[in-house]
Structure formats: C-alpha cells, structure tokens
C-alpha cells in the first residue's frame, strides 16, 4: 500500500511540474529593459480592440511590443492572415506590423474568400508585390508553429494574452496584463520597482 501511495504521489508531482507554465522564454529583446509581449490571433475581436492600446503604450514608454502569432482553431482565416503577415515581415518588420494593424482595423470586412485580395491591396498600397506562393518552403509556417508551441509551453489559452516583461534584477520579471485598461499603470509600477 505504501508503494502505491508513493507512486501516486510521485505521479501527481510529476504531472503538476509538467503542466506548470514555463515563462522563462519571455524576455525583452536584446538591449531593452522592458517589453510588452502579446500572443494574438488576427481574427480575434478582443485582439483587435487591444492592439491600439498596446501600440500606444509601446510608443508612450518607448518599449518594444513583441508579437507572437497564436491563431485559434475556431477562426477560419487567422492562420492565413498570420502567414501573410510573416511574409510582410520578410520585407520589413515595420511592414509586417502595419499589415497586422490593418487587419485588426478591418476584421469585420475580412472573410476567407477575400483575405488574399485585401492583402494584395495592402501590398500594392505599400509598393510591394505579394507572390502567388507566399511560403513555398514552409519557413513562415514554421515560425507560426514555433510561436504557437511557445504559447502552449507558457500556458496560453486565450487571446490576447499580454505580458509585461523586465530583465532588471530588482523588477518582477513577468506580469500578465489581465485588464488592458490597467496597462499604463502597470508599466509605471514596473518601472518604479
């Protein structure tokens, strides 16, 4: 009986450790003390509402906004939009971010059948050619998969999931922002630590 209880206790401890969130990979980019990190889905309405707040906080505090793609399975065009955004990232990170902002502001107009034409219009407006085959080698898809895997290791179960991260020794290294209306106050508090 003691062996069985010991085995069950060890199994329970192992399961708890295995399911624990691993946020160690979430760090500010090199050269930055702080960052705002968001796991987002381009079709998620709440992500669309959060996007301008995150952009404004990034500009106001001059701290990077680090975006991770986390397309949810119930959204029928979010993965393809993320793939297109990754293509624009290859042209410039700024262009990729502008496309994401554009998608967020036009979510209600986008459907699976017109996503490509919307992306082509965006590309033409920015004097970029959108190739017929956006990701022939699967490299961009691999980056989305890597983001999704990271999100799963971190314990993401909804979008947007927003974190403030710091690499200052005296600061709290990571804080989840559960209420975007508190973002600016949370950044102020983090910087005062």
CATH code, domain carrying 181: 3.40.30.10
pLDDT exceeds 90 at position 186: yes
Residue 134 lies in a domain: yes
What's the mean pLDDT in 54-80? 97
pLDDT exceeds 90 at position 18: no
Q: Assess contact for 87 and 134: CB atoms under 8 A.
A: yes
pLDDT on residue 9: 33
Q: Assess contact for 38 and 66: CB atoms under 8 A.
A: yes
Question: What's the pTM?
Answer: 0.85
In the chain, how many domains are there? 1
C-alpha 45: how far from its chain's center? Answer: 14
Instruction: Tell me the backbone φ, ψ of residue 118, rounded to 5 degrees.
Output: -65, -40
Residue 8 lies in a domain: no
The answer for residues whose C-beta is within 8 angstroms of residue 50's C-beta and 6 or more apart is: 38, 40, 160, 162, 180
Residue 11 lies in a domain: no
Average pLDDT over the chain, rounded to an integer:
88
22 CB-contact burial (10 Å; exposed 0-12 / middle 13-18 / buried 19+): exposed
Q: Report the distance separating Cα 46 and Cα 34, nearest Å.
A: 24
Residue 156 lies in a domain: yes
Residue 21 lies in a domain: no
Q: Report the distance separating Cα 159 and Cα 54, nearest Å.
A: 14
pLDDT exceeds 50 at position 100: yes
Reported as a pLDDT band with limits 50, 70 and 90, residue 21 is low
Residue 32 lies in a domain: yes
Whole-angstrom CA distances from 77 to 62, 74, 94, 104, 125 are 32, 9, 22, 13, 22
């Amino acid at each position: 009986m003691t062996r069985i209880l010991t085995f069950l206790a060890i199994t329970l401890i192992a399961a708890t450790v295995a399911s624990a969130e691993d946020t160690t990979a979430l760090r500010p980019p090199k050269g930055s003390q702080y960052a705002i990190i968001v796991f987002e889905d381009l079709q998620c309405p709440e992500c669309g509402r959060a996007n301008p707040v995150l952009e404004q906080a990034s500009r106001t505090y001059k701290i990077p906004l680090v975006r991770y793609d986390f397309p949810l399975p119930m959204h029928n065009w979010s993965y393809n939009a993320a793939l297109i955004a990754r293509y624009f990232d290859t042209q410039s990170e700024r262009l990729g971010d502008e496309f994401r902002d554009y998608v967020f502001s036009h979510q209600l107009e986008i459907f699976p059948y017109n996503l490509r034409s919307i992306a082509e219009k965006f590309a033409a407006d920015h004097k970029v050619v959108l190739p017929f085959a956006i990701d022939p080698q699967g490299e961009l898809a691999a980056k989305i998969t890597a983001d999704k895997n990271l999100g799963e290791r971190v314990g993401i179960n909804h979008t947007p999931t927003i974190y403030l991260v710091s690499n200052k020794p005296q600061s709290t290294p990571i804080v989840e922002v559960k209420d975007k209306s508190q973002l600016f106050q949370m950044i102020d508090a983090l910087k005062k630590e």
